[in-house]
Structure formats: C-alpha cells, structure tokens
Amino acid sequence: MDSIERFIEQMANHAEADGLPRISGRIMAYFVINGGPFSFSEIADNLGISRGSASTNTRLLRDLGILERYQKPGSRQDYYVLAVQPYQRLLKGYIERMESSINNIKQLVDAPETELPTAALERLDALEGFYHTAIESTRVALEKTGGNHA
Amino acid sequence: MDSIERFIEQMANHAEADGLPRISGRIMAYFVINGGPFSFSEIADNLGISRGSASTNTRLLRDLGILERYQKPGSRQDYYVLAVQPYQRLLKGYIERMESSINNIKQLVDAPETELPTAALERLDALEGFYHTAIESTRVALEKTGGNHA
DNA sequence: TTATTCGTTCAGTGTGTACTGAACGCTGTA
DNA sequence: TACAGCGTTCAGTACACACTGAACGAATAA
C-alpha cells in the first residue's frame, strides 16, 4: 500500500468517524489528490465502486457542499469538481447540530408542564452556554476561512 | 412522552449522530436533569438498561471527561457525578481528530516515493490550512469555557 | 470458610445501514 | 419509432456494533 492509498484509506476512516459512509471519504480524497473534473463514470470506475454507491455518495458530498456538479456542453455525463470553499459547509453543519441541541434544551426549560429544580436549570444553562461559545468560535473559523458570505 | 423523556431521547439522538452509543447520551441527559451522584446500580435501574451497558457506557463517559467516578466511604458501590468541566474534553477530542487529519496530510506530502503535482500540493495545503484554523478556534472556545488549564 | 454484592467481560442476538447490482426512467440519437 | 448511454432507485446482502444477560473475579460480611 503506497502513501496515496494510505491517505485515501485514512480519509475513509475519518469520514466513518464522522458518521459518513467510507466511500464518501474516499471520493473526497480522490478529488483532493487528483483534482478534477471527473465524470460520474470515472469516479465509479477509478475507485472501483458500484454506480449505485457513486450516485448516493456524490449526492451526499454535493449536499455537504464539498463537490459541485456541472454539465459539460455537448456531453450527457455529469461532471464533478471540488467546490470553491469545500469545507465551510461542514462547519455550518456543526453549527446547525449545536443549534439543534440548544433548541432541545430550550424546549425542556420552556415546557409549561415541567417544574425543574433550580440546580437542574443551572446545569441546563451551563450546557447551553457551552454550545453558544462553541457555535461562536465555529463562526469565527468560518469567517477566517472565507465562508462569511452566507 | 413528556418533555423530559423527549429531552433524553434527543440527547440520545445527538450522541448517535456523534458516533456514540445512544445509551451514553441518555445517561448524560439523566445527569444533566437529575444531578447526582448516582450509584452504578441506580443508573442501570433508573434508565432501565443492563448492567453490562451501564458499565461500558459509564466508562466511555469517564474517558470523555463527562462523568467522574468516586467511592463513598463505607460503601462498596461506585458513584458517578458530572465532571466539573464536563464538555471541554469533547472539544479536546475534536482537536485530536483534526490533528490526526493533519498528520495524515503530512504523511502524504512528505512521503519520499510520491511526487505530487503542484496543484495537488496546493489542494492538500488548503485542506491542512482549514484544519489549522478550525483547531485554532476550537482552542479559543476551550479557553472561553474555562478549560485552558491543560 | 461460605455467601453476598459489587463491576467487568464476553458470547449471542438484533438491528441499522453501507454497499452492490439489476431494473428503471429519462434524454438524445438514428 | 427503437436504441443506447446516462444517473437514480431499490431489493438483497453483508457486516459492524449496540445491547443484553449470564458468567466471572474481586471485595466485603457472616
């Protein structure tokens, strides 16, 4: 296994740790190394994956903002390239998940039928505060990497 | 399902999305709401989970720095409480994973047997730069939440 | 010693899901 | 029209893993 294969496999591992399919990590690594654009069929063939997986995972990477699809004039195939700011969307995803956690806390605190003791409210407040600062610094990272136009 | 159950279940969902067992999220939510300390058996009984799961997941939450274990004098049972800074360790975990990604990139770039084209090196450099700024802002969040003593 | 009560470990089970490959619909070509 | 090439969808599988419950070792009590 050469260093490129190892890189691709590690990206697959990291994707898996993030709760994403391994193949999506391999596709991303493939684009980082080899650039692009690549056609749908090239992705499936060069990575040795089924066209079904290629379809599912290119759509996933599109939804994450990592890949972009476009049509070459005169060609019926789909082509893919790395997005201009491929990683910002990931940060936005983190922010959304943390905001979802905050909403979960607020729903509990604001629920009319529950009377929580003061200590519980304090712990919930501490948790919410943690999410707020985490979101804030993620926003800072977003701006630094140039994704502040959203 | 009342609002407390919903809160617990949502924490379980978020844990699952983070690649953790659902039960670990339920235990954490249980401590956030009800405080502590609770004995090992109380955790298993009150959450209706097996002692095996209680053992595995309390250890996981200990490793994450969310729970702390201690022995009450005169009691043979293990007791658990929320750690003083329960969430910092999570951020440290994120940082470690991103550092691992950086190392993966460096291994590829520094590999003597691979001659990567300039464009590939640029893309790898951009990815590494992204991780660096993400790590940096996570460190800022760590400091703001009071976990800067490590 | 034996009995009891802890927490841990591990084999077994169930479940969710990544992945494949075939069938399908769509679009452009002949 | 029929045909070919494209991407998507979906049933089937294979596998990973969360969870259970029983067996186990350790520590205390009798």
How far apart, in Å, are the Cα atoms of B49 and each of B17, B33, B43, B45, B67? 20, 18, 8, 7, 18
Query: For residue A149, is it within any domain?
Result: no
Same domain, B106 and B139: yes
The residue-averaged pLDDT of B100-116 equals: 88
Range of the domain at B140: 88-144
- The count of domains in chain B is 2
Residue B61 covered by a domain: yes
Domain-terminating residue out of A82, A105, A132? A82
Q: How many CB atoms lie within 10 A of CB A48?
A: 7
Question: 3-class DSSP state for residue A21?
Answer: coil
Residues of B in contact with A132 (CB under 8 A): none
- Residue the block writes with tokens 């007791």: B79
Asked if B76 CB < 7 A from strand C, the reply is yes
pLDDT greater than 60 at residue B148: no
Task: Indicate whether A150 belongs to any domain.
Answer: no
B93 and B68 fall within a common domain = no
Dist CA A125 CA B67 (whole Å): 18
Residue B1 token pair? 């399902």
Could you tell me if residue B150 is inside a domain?
no
Mean pLDDT of B111-138: 90
Whether residues B24 and B72 fall in one domain: yes
Q: Does A68 lie in the same domain as A19?
A: yes
Worst-scoring range by mean pLDDT, A18-27, A68-77, B40-49, B124-133? A68-77
User: In which band, very low, low, confident or very high, does the pLDDT at B84 lie, cut at 50, 70 and 90?
Assistant: confident
Q: Pinpoint the alpha helices (H) of chain A.
A: 3-17, 22-34, 40-47, 51-63, 88-110, 118-144
* Average pLDDT along chain A: 88
Q: Do A3 and B136 touch (CB under 8 A)?
A: no
Query: Taking phi first (over 0 means left), then psi (-120 to 50 degrees means alpha), and beta for anything else, what does residue B69 get?
Result: beta
Q: List protein-proximal bases of chain D (any atom < 7 A from a CB).
A: 5-11, 17-23, 27-28
Cα–Cα distance measured from residue B137 to residue A148, given in angstroms and rounded to the nearest whole number: 15
Domain match, B57 and B118 both:
no
Instruction: Give the model confidence (pLDDT) of A101-116 as tens digits.
Output: 999 999 999 988 878 8
Between the alpha carbon of residue B146 and those of residues B85, B140, B149, the distances in Å are 8, 10, 8
Query: What CATH number does the domain containing B39 carry?
Result: 1.10.10.10
Tell me the CA–C1' distance in angstroms for A117 and C17. Answer: 40
Are residues A128 and A95 part of one domain? yes
Task: Specify whether A123 is located in the same domain as A68.
Answer: no
Strand pairing class (B67-71; B38-39): unpaired
Give strand letter and number of the nucleotide nearest B54 (CA to C1').
Answer: C7
Is the domain of A53 the same as that of A98?
no
The backbone torsions φ and ψ at residue A68, rounded to the nearest 5 degrees and listed phi first, read -125, 140
A103 and A75 housed in the same domain:
no
Based on the fold, state whether residues B21 and B54 are members of the same structural domain: yes
Residue B149 domain-assigned (yes or no): no
Asked if residue A78 and residue A28 are part of one domain, the reply reads yes
